[in-house]
Structure 1
Amino acid sequence: MQVVESLDGIDPAEFSGGSCIAIGKFDGLHRGHQAILRRLREESEGGALRTVVVTFRNNPLSFLRPEACPHPLMSPEQRLEAFEAAGIDVCVMVEFDAAFASIPAEEFVTDVLVGKLGARHVIMGADFRFGHRGAGDGALLTSLGAKYGFDAEIVDWVDDVSGQVSSSRVREAMSRGDVETVARMFDRLPAVRGEVVHGDARGRDLGFPTANLGGRIEGLVPADGVYAGFATVGGVRRHAAISVGNNPTFTPDEQSRVEAFVLDFSGDLYGERIVVEFAKRLRGTERFASLEALVEQMHRDVAETRELLS
């Protein structure tokens, strides 16, 4: 997949044969976003038109209203990997900054979508807005399509059993540890990725050595608690019992962290980048009266993880 990191980096000659474009934030690549990408591939006329995603490296709110900007559900790198896995030809992923925010809606369509990318078909979600002060919506895109010779398509909301699928609903579910609801909205397990760093080695002393994620963690971490899930180590996906949070028995004031006990694995993971997936929340975090009570509960957590994932 070709990645273009600025509007100036688009070479119009590469799109002289026309393109099918999807525009949006695509945070999380949930089922609503997946529906847009499916339509993008379908409308590419069997590959005759290049499939292009136009999106942002950062959430626009990080520039417009930093105090209201939520944590991203996926890192830019994770989204690029997902676009490539979906069969997208080109991703134009630009920084949403003052220059981009100042582009009028019609100018964005005429200069970027039509002039640079050779738009023949443009797709976006029902809630997406574009252009200066968010002046561009589905109605404007449709009217501009008729004027400048491309088909405009607005993909409606996708529903699941409890309502509309959206990034905000995903965040709300993650904030309470409801990873099963998130998995339904994603059609995959929610996951984070990071480098394994040295911890306090307390888990090893208790017989449960954990892989501690440190530094920059890609993806949204769910609410504190203990989860059954998976850890992908060296390309191999393994069962894991996962702790999110501090250790209230030993360090109640410590910052929350992600620790994965990889079942039936022995080896040095320090410095490795691993993917941790959350399948089911087993319980919240607890403070135990004794070391023995903690170890007994850890054994129960591992046994429940084995049973759930078997």
Structure 2
Amino acid sequence: MIIVRNIEELEDVIAGSCVTIGNFDGVHKGHQKLIQLACSRAKAQGLVSVVVTFDPHPLRVLRDDRTPPFITLTEQKLELISQYGPQVCLLLEFNMDMARLAPEDFVKKYLLDGLNMKEMIVGYDYHLGKGRAGNFETLKELGAKHNFSVDRLDPVSIEDAVVSSTRIRDLVQAGHVWPVRHLLGRFYQIKGEVVHGMNRGGRLLGFPTANIKLVDELFPKPGVYAIWVELDNKAYMGVANIGKNPTFGNDALSVEAHIIDFEGDIYGRDIRVHFVQRIRDEKKFSGIDELKERIATDTALGRQILSQPEAEIRLTKADFADGSRND
């Protein structure tokens, strides 16, 4: 997938395109189906498949500090989009000038003049242009006027509810990470750099932990989780604590991952944490001994959970480490 950030780079380059457009926060199963449909339509008609999305998320510009935490930041969103086959991703900088464009002006400037769009496929609730004035009916009218076709994907439902970024966000924040995998087609994940913490895990407790520098915005409810830790395209069993470590009287939120049966120095390395199932709430213990005993129990529970077939993880082009499962 070619990523283009400036529409001028594509003018007079693409002979014809099939475009889908959206924010794609989470790249969930509804988004995946939309992208795959655009790709299949493009291939059938000899067109270039293009995904158009935005950075920053439009809500970040329009609402500023009143925005919810986003499921995927731009880097991860692009990585996920690429897995579903589009040839080009046009990543547009969203700003107030763009927000003021009428639907027809946006379509003409970016999709027709820039991408030579012949077909457009949108989600069931997609709106564009100033004040979200452009909807499916508006786009159909513009298509008739400017000679492009428009189709709309019906909602994708799982367990009798529409798959949406809001639904996923609510589940993650409530700690319900297990059902989220059905909506995303993968476990919910965060990525970050391993940094030095308080040096208590291995020294005091006998369970070394990787302290992750917080970059992502959306985190599960504080507590202990069974996780897969992805490092160098390998998956390791683990347990993670999200919270403030009340036993030690901390005030700052932290994410600490204990990688089961792993030895090695990974400070300064990036790891990805895939949340599989919540084990328990965060708790204040009476002291070090009680905490050590509970961590041992959590680790055993984590190993048991991750050993179940339904908890297996699929990594793209991954070689799996000992203790993980290759499917």
TM-score, normalization by structure 2? 0.90
Alpha-carbon distance change, 238 to 179 in structure 1, aligned in 2, over 3 angstroms: same
Contact 2:36/2:85 (8 A) holds in 1: no
Deviations 1:225-264 (A, max 9, x none): 1000100112211111111111011124x21111110111
Q: Does 1:86 align with 2:87?
A: no
Which residue is equivalent to 2:315? none
SS of residue paired to 2:113? helix
Note the residue ranges of structure 1 that are not aligned, 5 or more in a row: none
Identity rate of aligned residues, in percent? 36
SS of residue paired to 2:79? helix
SS of residue paired to 2:12? helix
Distance 1:218 1:162 in 2: 29
Note the residue ranges of structure 2 that are not aligned, 5 or more in a row: 308-327
Say which of 108, 111, 117 aligns to 1:110: 108
Which residue is equivalent to 1:51? 49
| AA partner of residue 250 (structure 1) | F
Say which of 60, 68, 71 aligns to 1:70: 68
| AA partner of residue 134 (structure 1) | R
Which residue is equivalent to 1:260? 257
SS of residue paired to 2:247? coil
Q: Map 1:61-210 onto structure 2 (within 5 A).
A: 61-205=59-203, 206-210=205-209
Aligned-residue RMSD, C-alpha: 1.4
Distance 1:271 1:152 in 2: 47
| AA partner of residue 210 (structure 2) | A
| AA partner of residue 96 (structure 2) | A
Contact 2:173/2:218 (8 A) holds in 1: no
SS of residue paired to 2:240? strand
Which residue is equivalent to 1:229? 227
Contact 1:121/1:151 (8 A) holds in 2: yes
| AA partner of residue 3 (structure 1) | I
Q: CA deviation at 1:105?
A: 0.3
| AA partner of residue 299 (structure 1) | A
Deviations 1:92-145 (A, max 9, x none): 111211111121101111222112101111111122211111111111111211
Q: CA deviation at 1:68?
A: 2.1
Deviations 1:40-59 (A, max 9, x none): 11101347211111111112
Q: CA deviation at 1:219?
A: 5.5
Which ranges of 4 or more aligned residues in structure 1 deviate by more than 3 Å? none
Give the length in aligned residue pairs.
306
Distance 1:56 1:159 in 2: 25
Which residue is equivalent to 2:280? 283
- Stretch of structure 1 that moved more, 43-52 or 238-247: 43-52
TM-score, normalization by structure 1? 0.95
